[in-house]
Chains A and B, each alone.
Chain A
Amino acid sequence: MKKNSSMTVHSLLTLAWILISLYLAFIFAPNEANQGNVYRIMYIHVPCAWSALVGYTVIFAGSVGYLWKRSQFADDLAYAGAEVGFIFCCCLLITGPLWAKPVWGVWWVWDPRTTLTFVLWLLFVGYLLLRTFFVNPAQAALLSAVVGIIGFVDVPIDYMAIRWWRTQHPQPVIMGGPDSGLPPRMEIALFTSIGAFLCLFFYLLRQRLHMGTARRDLEQLRRGETATEF
């Protein structure tokens, strides 16, 4: 019961936060000098990028946790992080070209940032495919953890790409060093929407984790034992 009510609170919080960030993104924040209204897709694009990166970080954390503690929860966490992170990564790859077309004049440019974001998407795909193709379910958690950890090596590179290399992709606006800041109103809107998306991310993550525990309970019942709390 307690779990359910905390989920309800979380869902309402997410909803409210998203509504606020929509208001800030579309009404409160001013037009951008060169791009006009077009730039407003940033309030979806950037939060998606954050959520996708957090998603792969969750895979990594869950993988390390599983190998270390052998807790089924950690394995569920990694799987959940992959599925939810993948959705945001898809949004990231959809909003990117939508933004690029009017601004750069092309849908896609192969620069380090876009390349490595595409790589991130492929890492999600590889991980998720792997999880569905195991022959022996007892090995699934172990082998996915190994792949999740090795794949994570690429994630910091993706994050650092726009910092290390000068690219066509815009420079980071957050923690990107001096003169990279946004006007205050835009900054407020951006931070709020990042917060809203992360809130949504963790809400979906919790729901997905819930499914994982439920599946495990079901397996246990099918094995003809009473379900116990893990």
Chain B
Amino acid sequence: MRALDILWTLFRKDLRIEWRQRETLASICVFGVLVVLLFNFAFTPAGEESLRLLPGVLWIAFAFAGILGFNRSFAAERQNACLDGLRLAPIEPGLIYLAKMLSSLVFLAIAEVVIIFATALWYNFSFVPSIKWFVSIVFLGTLGYVGVGVTFGAVAANTRMREVMLPVLQFPVVVPIFIAAIEATSGALRGEASSQFASWVRLLVVFSVIFIVLSFLLFEYVLEE
């Protein structure tokens, strides 16, 4: 399959560039952990309270780390007009989107692992009992979030003040994903039966699929000039 081959080539290119400079990954990890730390100072939660705050703290940290990552995700393509280089190639524009989405997903996932470790440590909270549902919910929420973020990152890259433009576009659109992710996460962490929060998980799946399919289809227009 040529399409899969191209996708894999582009994806590996992103990973290799990131590995050589480690800019995006380092900045989003540090930033995400800082958000958790600030929350800890602001609320100094203890015991039961921390369980109530935790889902929100986690997703806010993921959100900010993600925004930072999306702003950077096209940085490598902007230097020397590499994006033009990709646009010259006889490939489906949607593949450029998918490759970027996958690499951004990997980077954000790594940052999320770091953030989760930090919270587990600072909030004295064990994620182990609910790990199966917790990981699936985080994965699905992140998928939808990255699915929109890469597209809007590419859109915002063409504007003045792109660092401001991206969150202004991104946050409102992903509110449903956030609400669903936070509700589902708190259900899972409280150890509720999965039927209690299944509808939120379903909502996450629906939104992630819609956003990724739409972005895949619309990305050729983002690349057009």
Q: Give chain A's interface residues, CB within 8 Å of chain B.
A: 67, 112, 115-116, 119, 122-123, 125-126, 129-130, 133-136, 138-139, 142-143, 145-147, 149-151, 153-154, 157
Contacts and interface: CB of A to CB of B under 8 A. Distances in A.
A112 B183 CA distance: 13
Given A130-B159, A135-B158, A142 B222 contact: yes
A135 B222 contact: no
Contacts of A151: 172-173
B172 A123 contact: yes
Interface string B139-179: 00000000010011001001111000100110111011001
Interface of B: 148, 151-152, 155, 158-161, 165, 168-169, 171-173, 175-176, 179, 207, 210-211, 214-215, 218, 221-222, 224-225
Contact of B175 (A116, A134, A135): A116
B221 A67 contact: yes
B158 A153 contact: no
A157 B222 contact: no
Contacts of B158: 134-136, 139, 143
B206 to A, nearest CB: 10
A135 B159 contact: yes
A124 to B, nearest CB: 9
Contact of B218 (A119, A134, A149): A149
B218 A150 contact: yes
A126 B171 CA distance: 10
Contacts of B224: 139, 142
Given A133-B165, A134-B159, A154 B176 contact: yes
Nearest to B156: A130
Contact of B169 (A138, A147, A154): A147
A170 B148 CA distance: 32
A122 B172 contact: yes
B210 A153 contact: yes
Ranked nearest first, the 9 interchain pairs of A and B with the lowest CB-CB distance are A122-B172, A133-B159, A126-B169, A146-B218, A142-B221, A143-B155, A119-B175, A126-B168, A133-B160
Nearest to A129: B168
A157 B215 CA distance: 19
A166 B169 CA distance: 29
B196 to A, nearest CB: 15
Contacts of A139: 158, 224-225
Nearest to B168: A126
A129 B92 CA distance: 30
A146 B139 CA distance: 25
A149 B172 CA distance: 14
B159 A149 contact: no
A145 B165 contact: no
B210 A147 contact: no
Contacts of B221: 67, 142-143, 145-146
